[in-house]
Amino acid sequence: MNWSKFKTKIFCVVGFIVIVAVLFLVVSLPLALYVYNPLEKITKPIFEILPYPVAVIDGNQIITTKTLIADAESVRHFYESQDFSSAGLRIDFSTEEGKMRLKIKEKEVLDKLIENAVIEKIANEREIVVSEKDIKNEIAGLTDKNGSLEILEGNLKKLYGWDLEQFREKVIIPQIYLKKTIEYYIKKEENKGDEWNRMQEAKKKITENGSNFCEIAGSYSDGETAGSCGEIGWFQRQSLEPEIASVAFGMKVGEVSNVIKSSLGYHIILLDETKQSEKEGSKISEVKLKQIFINNGGFVKWIREEKKKHKIWVPMKDYRWNQESASIKFQNNQLETKEQQLRIKSEGDPIFY
C-alpha cells in the first residue's frame, strides 16, 4: 500500500468528519434553543462551552448563552446562600412553584442583560463615558462600606460566587452607565410640566396654609401612597433613589422637603422618625418617611421609549421580546398567566422582593 495515498485518505476522512461535526453544531445548537432551555441540566454544559446568541441587539451586539447561564447561576447562588428563616421567609426551588419562580427570575436576568446593553448604546450615542476613574471610585466606595477590599471580595464570593473582576463587569460598569444616563435625562430630557406645577401647589398648601400632610397625600399623590397618608416605611440610604437619599438623610424629624426630582417622578418627603442599629460592628442609619409622589413617566418611561427604537431578536424557545412593552415575555401565554398568579400570592417568598 502506498503510505502517502493512505495518509491522504485518512486526512480526507478526518476532514469530512470535522466538517460534518461543525455543520451539525452550527445547525443543531441554534435549533436546540427552541427545544431546550440552555439553563437546563442537559444543555447547560454544552452552551457554556459553545456560546450561542440568546439576544441580538441591532444586529451587532450579542448576549450569549454563556453570559446568561453565568448570571442566572449567580442569582440562584445568592438566594440559596441566604438564611431567610430569621425573617420568616422561605426559599425552595425544588417544588414545582419553586422551579417556576426560578424560571421567572431567569427571565428577569435576560431582560436586565438586554437593558444594560441598550443603556450602554444610548449612553454612547450621547457621548456618555464610563472611565476607569469612575469604576475605581465606585469600588472604593463599596470597599469603605464593607470595611476592606478583602471583606468586599469575600462577600461577593459568598453571595454571588463572583470575583472582583466579574463584579466590575457585571454590576459596577452597568450601574455607572445607568447613573450617568439618569443624570443626562434629568438635565437634558425632562420637562417641568403639569406634574411639577401640581407638586409645587401641594408644597404650598403644606407650608403656607398648614394643610395636613396626610390629606395632601390623599389628594395629590399617585399610587399606594395616596391611600396610606403617604407612609412608605423605613429605609437605609442605599435603598432610596440617590436624589431622595441625599435630602432625607440631611433632614430633621418632622421636616418637609421641597419638591425632589428623581428618575421615578416628583416627590415631597416628610421625615417621620430616625433610628440606628448595629450589624457586624457597623452602625446602620435608617429613616422612616412619608411622601407625596407624582409619577411623570420620568426616566422609566423615557428609557422604555428609547429601547423601542432598537431592534432586538431573542432566538429562544421560552422567551420573546415584546416590542410594545420593550421587555422580555414568556413565549407561552399560560406561563405569563402563571407568573402573574405567583406574584399575587408571593407573600413570604423573598424571590419577589
pLDDT digits (tens, 9 = 90+) for 86-129: 555 667 777 887 888 888 889 999 999 999 999 999 999 999 99
Tens of pLDDT along 24-51?
555 555 555 555 677 777 778 877 887 8
Q: Does domain 194-295 have CATH number 3.10.50.40?
A: yes
Least confident of 10-19, 147-156, 337-346: 10-19
Q: In what order do the strands lie in the sheet with 53-57?
A: 61-64, 53-57, 312-313
Closest CA to 261 of 279, 234, 242, 278: 242
pLDDT tens by residue, 279-303: 666 678 889 999 998 876 667 778 8
Domain borders along the chain are 1-35, 39-189, 194-295
221: closest CA among 295, 136, 120, 144? 295
Grid coordinates of 326:
420593550
Q: What is the mean pLDDT of the chain?
A: 82
Give the pLDDT score at 239: 83
Whole-number pLDDT of residue 145: 86
Q: Which residue has the higher pLDDT, 315 or 1?
A: 315
